[in-house]
Structure 1
Amino acid sequence: MKHSGTRHKARNRAVDLLFEAEAKGVSPLELIDERRKIFVDDDSVGTIHDYTATAVAGVASDQAQVDAVIASHLDKWQLDRLPAVDRAILRLATWELFNVADVDPVVIVDEAVQLAKELSTDNSPAFVNGVLAKIAELAPQVRAAAAAVLPEPTDEA
């Protein structure tokens, strides 16, 4: 199945930025800022979709927690031993599972598997699916807990 929607492209770009940032040892937020500055004079670098920026910022700010969740769901693997692109895909999808309430967890897992098919090894889609399927079971509870600590909206103008 070919995914060509805007959000799929935004996720693909987010994975690219997360991968590149890790490879260069820089903050993914720095890469986004750099690309946005370059884009002003050179549109060949492409614009950064708002969803890409939001997702990358979310992963960057929650990376310790995201990595801990992923690591706790790896069977006979260590996070730092995974292919870097698989780490980026798992980080993005885990962050989405816990923080993006307007997308069904099944869709998030499907998108991650599709990205693994497009960007990684032949074994990666099944591996990514297996890890994320376990993490997705936690998503409703994590989302509910996050919603419970958010302040209630007020009617004050």
Structure 2
Amino acid sequence: MGARTKARKRAIDLLFEAESRGLNAGDLARERAETPVTEAPLNPYTITAVEGVVGRWSDINDALTTYSQGWSLDRMPDVDRAILRLGAWEVLYSQDVPDEVAVSEAVVLATELSTDESPRFINGLLARIVEVKPTLV
């Protein structure tokens, strides 16, 4: 697993944990950067990604809600929401991640972390966001 993939997985962990605990994910990421709870320090991309998601939280949630057919954000598994938020941020706002890579990485992480149905759902929703990206940014 490459460094960027590990950074994404850690960002998803932080987004998931923050939502589960009712915390601000950006604050949690900064806290973990200052006082690590693991031997390995946070990759700078993890912090960038979490802060990017938090900074565009409403826009990302609006896009996910608008383009997920038949699924509200609350109805999605928690880990899927975290993966989708990160993937949507990378597609819509990250300048250094190609759309195809963002979608592919999200699908791989969903395969590893979520249900059997999640990779297909995440691929379809993020692919739709890629299609409509010019109208969103």
| Coordinate RMSD, CA, aligned | 1.5
1:6 aligns with 2:3: yes
Q: Please name the residue that 1:24 is paired with.
A: 21
Query: Which of 46, 51, 62 is the aligned partner of 1:57?
Result: 51
Q: 1:39-118 counterparts in 2 under 5 A? A: 39=36, 44-118=38-112
Alignment of 1:108-147 (within 5 A): 108-139=102-133, 141=134
SS, match of residue 127 in structure 2: helix
Percent identity among equivalent residues?
A: 46
Residue pair 2:30, 2:47 contacting (<8 A) in 1 also: no
Structure 1 gap segments, 5+ residues each: 146-157
Aligned length: 137
Uncovered stretches (5+) of structure 2, i.e. residues with no partner: none
Opposite residue 104 of structure 1, the aligned amino acid is P
Output the TM-score relative to the length of structure 1: 0.82
Distance 1:68 1:112 in 2: 19
How many angstroms does 1:33 deviate by? Answer: 2.3
- 8 Å contact from structure 1 (residues 15, 89) kept in 2: yes
Deviating runs (4+, > 6 A) in structure 1?
Answer: none
Q: Normalization by structure 2: what TM-score?
A: 0.93
